[in-house]
Amino acid sequence: MSSSNSSIDFKGRVAIVTGAGGGLGRQHALALAARGAKVVVNDLGGARDGSGGSVSAAQAVVDEIKAAGGEAIANGASVTDFEAVQAMVKEAVDAWGRVDILVNNAGILRDKSFAKMELADFKLVVDVHLMGAVNCTKAVWALMNEQKYGRIVMTTSSSGLYGNFGQSNYGAAKLALVGLMQTLSIEGAKNDIRVNCLAPTAATRMTEDLFPKEMLEAFRPEAVVPAMLVLAAQDAPNRTILCAGAGTFEAAHITLTQGSWLGIEADTPEQLAARLSEVTEREGEIVPQSGAAQGSNEVAKGMANAKRG
């Protein structure tokens, strides 16, 4: 059973998809192109640990798009190289006059338990996932503000939202992207730049070792693409974390409990320890619309109790 109020189309839109030479990024690029977008297919063409590089993977996706009647160009910039990313954005603007959509999808894995992980592997994963997305977003930000339109999709992960053994570096970078999205969605709102996060569960080269073979079909990358299309569309939400996998879609939220006012007394640490279950009680929790909302909640409770005193 399916129904649709209006079709999502990207005619006249220009999209950049990073890490689009294979897996999820390839499916993103193909889907955007199939619905009318002109697409910059970016891929460094390295191994999944980030080593090596070749533009041939990106070019193969461009060839697929063109064979289907679409428009696309290949780009081999590393997202960690800001100058190369700026040149990629210039290439898109020179070809098509604008950039409407950025899907920050590029990433690598260097999995190991924290005890065994080298700091270089921690830094590299943060550099590619977090700073790579920062570089690409920074490179389109002024342009999107000027044209008063932009749709940016950050790729977060359940490993960042909820943790996963052996992925402290990846998880830290992925949750950092949520923090980036929270602020950019506020700053971009006045010029219709909507920033969201996608948390995919998909069997790709990045995750093929994590799934038993019988699950690979259900978790194929194509099942995640509808969530990306919604987040990149003209009617996209703003500041949403959409989770997607195997045909199921959920939303994740960073919430704030009602909490308890305990005052500032000598025994407040002991009071907090004794009433911690009350403080962490989730009934009535909220999703604050900005960081200041947490402070407002604390001030309101403090003032209410001061009046009682």
The set of catalytic residues is 170
Give the long-range contacts of residues 279-286, CB within 8 A, separation 24 or more: 281/257, 282/255, 282/257, 283/258, 284/257, 284/258, 285/255, 285/256, 285/257, 285/258, 286/255, 286/256, 286/258
**CB proximity list for 115: less than 8 A, separation 6 or greater:** none
Relative orientation angle of helices 225-232 and 23-34, to the nearest 10 degrees: 50
The residue type of 251 is A
The residue type of 10 is F
Q: Which of 200, 197, 177 is nearest to 248 (CA)?
A: 200
Look up tokens 């897996």; give the residue: 23
Tokens representing 172 are 């830290």
Task: Give the Cα separation of 208 and 201 in Å (integer).
Answer: 11
HEC-encoded secondary structure of 74-134? EECCCCCCHHHHHHHHHHHHHHHCCCCEEEECCCCCCCCCCCCCCHHHHHHHHHHHHHHHH
DSSP secondary structure letters along 6-57: S----TT-EEEETTTTSHHHHHHHHHHHHTT-EEEEE-----TTS----THH
Task: Give the Cα separation of 278 and 34 in Å (integer).
Answer: 52
Q: How many residues does the chain have?
A: 309
**CB proximity list for 210: less than 8 A, separation 6 or greater:** none
Tokens representing 232 are 């990149």
- DSSP code, position 148: T
